[in-house]
Structure 1
Amino acid sequence: MDEVVKKYNELVDFLNKCDYYYYVLDNPIISDAEYDELKKELFEIERKYPQIIRPDSPSQRVGFKPSKEFKEIEHKEKMLSLDNAESEEEIIDWIRKIKRDYPNATFVVEPKFDGTSLELVYENSILKFAITRGDGLKGEDVTNNAKIIKTIPLKILKDIKRIDVRGEVLISKEDFKKLNEELLKNHERTFANPRNAAAGSLRQLDPSITAKRRLTFIAWGIGYFEGLEIDNQFDVLKLLKELGFKVSEPVKLCNDENEVVEFYKEMFKNRDNFPFELDGIVIKVNEFYIQKELGWTIRAPKWAIAGKFQAVEKTTKIVNVVFQVGRMGIITPVAILEPVEISGVVVSRVSLHNFDIIRKLDIRIGDWVYVRRAGEVIPEITSVIKERRTGGEKIIQEPRNCPSCNGEVIKDGAYYKCINLSCPAKLASHIQYVGEVLEIEGLGEATSNNLVKLNLVKDLADLFYLTVSDFLKLPNFAEISSKKLYNEIQKVKEGISLEKFIMMLGIPSIGKANAKALANKFRTLDKFLNCTYYELISISGIGYEIATNVIKFLRDENNRRIIEKILKSGIKITEEEKAKKLSNFFYNKKVVITGELSKFTRDEVIKFLESIGALVSNNVSSKTDYLIVGKNPGSKLEKAKKYNIKIISEEEFYEILKSEGIL
């Protein structure tokens, strides 16, 4: 037995060494075939002698069963996000402010990779937990998924009692492209950007899905530690490398703002040469004693800042303009572009929104235009390069008939609208919307269009009666993809909230905030279906127009027929829990957010506001109570001023929460 244990330990140590050289140093020391043979030998020993399995064995990276949910774990030390500096001037101001109080301060600068943050807890050098950032105080336990990532050591290369290693989980631009191609091939929803792909892959309840995604972990810092003497960030990065981690590179130790700005410019210039998405640089005070004295705000350290890159604009040509019909009949002009890559994403279509914008920018077919991704996500045309016009450009004409059904079109403000109730494009858009609301993977635009086109879905209810054989009739659908989409719909039928059921019906003016308000008021489907006008207008934020829309929708015979048909499919609607009695500044108030938030992500703010009883909406209207404004706000700010809505800055928002005792 001693010989077996000796052989086993040698195999574990050597295979871990091979993983380190291959995944961290990008320098393989044996062939793939040799590696596979040794791994097979290791697995055979473990099969015969399970009592000797080591926690850092390569076998411990695979074979975990799917979880029903992620449990939450507290961070030993707060894991906060960073404040942003949006320009060179803001970076300079921040550094000068620190230098004024600490003339001898130095700064570590490194690339800011655009991924999802993760903390790895090592006890006695063995990986114990992997925790997402979460709200900064606690995050989700994704240990089983993290163990699959080959650049995360199961055992670090030095004996340390406890160290919490922090870093970024990433997917390369090349692997992101391959992943989306694979998802498209399987009729699954694609990811908007590499950051979302990394976050979504790390948080899969089934680790086998995470294993298929080529994720990388790059370490950039530490949180809590014991049994370690270290007093600056630059040495932390050197230590992390010695422990077996990939670290942020290049890294520079700077003495002043001039050196930092020089690094910032260099990174911006070379951003496209990195295998991973880069959205700025991170600047940290190097000395730990200064970090400690500077301290933290509610959501960010005062000793570090993210120097964000400005959104990149590229030029391209409009080759055509097509019209899309939404589920409410609104016809949206969409510019078809010569494909152009912006920040790692190929952009070939841009919404022009409405004809007011087209006329304001004087956009024509054949124009050369500047395009950027607003907030590094949504593509938009910022201006037309009129100097490049040849005279052959075509003015974009308003639609006279619906491009889908050829039905009558009316002008509704800045928009054109199809009023044909049987318009197939409206139904297809509605089916796609239901896929988004109910999170049905694989029910995207192409699938929704084909379901309507092939008459497999003639109304919303038909979606819940589809069979595997129905999906097999769709283009490019095989047995596996058909069963997968069928199972997704069956899973939804097992139970959805009243809020989501109301949302999916597609009642005019009922988005997430209003659906939540209705669900909180009525709590059961039966009470909602039999609600009165007076009950509706008693709900905060539900005025005359919305109440009329709801009553009109629920009294329509065809709509009632469709609802009854959906219920007969076997779908279960869960009752809403009785809303907690809350009393605070935002309770029962309609809130909209615009601009980039520096301390929370937008999703975190929305989730938080909803938890304290606020009704969060995407659009500003005369019924909106408050608009929370971050940096670089959009058109919502002007609209809020027009309606005389109270505008709250991000800092004021946190001050209100503090004064209410919520933060």
Structure 2
Amino acid sequence: MTKKTPTTLQAPVESLTNAQAKAELSWLATQLRAANKSYHGADAPDISDADYDHLKQRNKSIETAFPTLKRDDSPSEQIGAAPADGFGKIKHVVRMLSLGNAFSDDDVFDFDTRVRKYLGRENEIGLAYTAEPKIDGLSLSLRYENGHLFQAATRGDGEVGENVTANARTISDIPHQISGAPDVLEVRGEVYMSHEDFAELNARQSDAGAKTFANPRNAAAGSLRQLDASITRARPLRFFAYAWGDLSAPLAQTQSDAIARLQSFGFSTNPLTQICSDPAAMIAHYQKIEQQRATLGYDIDGVVYKVNDLGLQHRLGFRSTTPRWAIAHKFPAELAWTRLERIDIQVGRTGALSPVARLTPVTVGGVVVSNATLHNEDYIAGRDGDGQPIREGRDIRPGDWVQIYRAGDVIPKIKDVDLSRRAKDAPAFVFPDHCPECGSAAIREEGDAVRRCTGGMICPAQAIEKLRHFVSRGAFDIEGMGAKQVEQFYADGWVETPADIFTLRARFGDGLQQLKNRDGWGETSANKLFDAIDSKRQIALSRLIYSLGIRHVGDSSAGLLANHYGRWDAFETAMTQAQIGEGDAWDTLTSIDGIGAVMATSLITAMQQEAERASIDALVAQLEVQDAVAASSDSPVAGKIVVFTGTLEKMTRAEAKARAEALGAKVSGSVSAKTDILVAGPGAGSKAKKAADLGVQTMDEDDWLTLIGDA
């Protein structure tokens, strides 16, 4: 949504005033016009199908409730987008319309009721419909005259389309000549791309350094709408015929017979098209198609129902942009069923064993999904972190049919599993208790949902992930040394620990002969990398702490630690001497505001683990670690440990903390014997009592402001 999104957008339509409804219709017209241009004109949609459908429904609801406010440029009167510049224009003899949408079973029954009521056949039995997959591609109209392909046009805005005749002739599914057809025959259908061809095309595009496509629909549309037909010829496009436009003679008396006749002319028609006797049968076929969706090999986004009798279609006629005799029953935009091919275990930089679902590719929310997170072993087993059942206790096994969901940019997840389609002999998935990368024991600590490898730096997966983190933007951020280079150097045995990065020049010499011989590298680029590495030998204490990749320690907490300890040697000594859960060093560490027991335990464990500590010491020996910026020595609170409690009335707690730290104070979240000052506002409780018991200096907010000179 834009910054000018109406505040009424989520309000019930019936609650809107005339002014609010008018403003919202104006906004919706702008948004939908831009969406149509992106989707139909540029083949690059910038909102999801679900969001688009929501906006269309909202516009329709407001227009229904406020008919006098309907705009002359109403989106409900528009189809597609105007033809793009660069193509010739073709005016359709018979308009190419869009379809109304059904999003639920009730919508399908309502559609049938409307059809029967319009025809005066409410009480009759046996009104037949066809049901066919709704191909997610680009609409195309093919005009044949005397059996020869005369011209081809995109839908455009429904009235005028783009002349893509030369491009259409390159598609193998489109015959150039047909026999036995009416003198004038306009065949309509969908240009699409199969999943296999889409993957191969994207691989070729990537290898050539060219643009890759988000999904098969975009790839098909972009390929057909090329000014250079040779590009279209090189793209693997397909075509399904499902309708017709201008005719010099009728094809048949029913929709199903007309489709069969198109097939007899040599066109590909969808084999899943079926005649249904009532809404229940239509919905049953919809569910059957949805179950097969992942194995079709091409994208569909719903099922289209059409009245089978063409005479009844003629009687029903059209609304302004949609036929009364057809409707598209859409699949949920963010949901899809597919097969779980296998479960892989990935090892992260903290040793976490993360299960990943490898899926038969399926398009969900406009994106081709082939992987999904499985969270942890409990999730696979069908239980939550408290041992309670999820998915009614259904576990997940390789070979299962699973429902995938994806909303926005969220990582795809598995929502459910269909036990009725599970093989009877399918074994339960056994989560590994040893690391698949290094063979070390993988343990799960009490209270932790994740199992972790104990191999540390001997585990190649952890080593690579730690190195990738080490060179990331928030850490050392070495120009020319990104994740790709780290993986390459690790595979070659040149860099196994962070310290190895800083000894590259000494070990291999200026120019690094082995590196010079690699594609894309020469003596200049190699020396440029060495210089970039050397420029990072001076590093801020906070960046160094963050770069170590210690579990639970992010960039903000690294800053807290750096500000508190000030110097690397002070931090290193404190972590070496600390004992988990007890002692002065532990109390000091956990008294830092923002550092809890979990993070403190992780810090101490990492700094006292022999192999990891040796790696850290070797790194620090190559560096000049800059002390945290200290306040001027004349600050009255420099170096003092301050605790704020109660309600501050003249500034927020965040402001008070920032001001104290700027003056060199160390702000803690708890009172201890090391606390120098407690600033107590109204409502101070246990901290004030503890400070009094320990003899800690206590003052109110006004006294504190006087002390620091802000009164």
TM-score (ref. length: structure 1): 0.43
Q: Which has the larger radius of gyration?
A: 2
Higher RCO (Cα < 8 Å, 6 or more apart) = 1
TM-score (ref. length: structure 2): 0.40
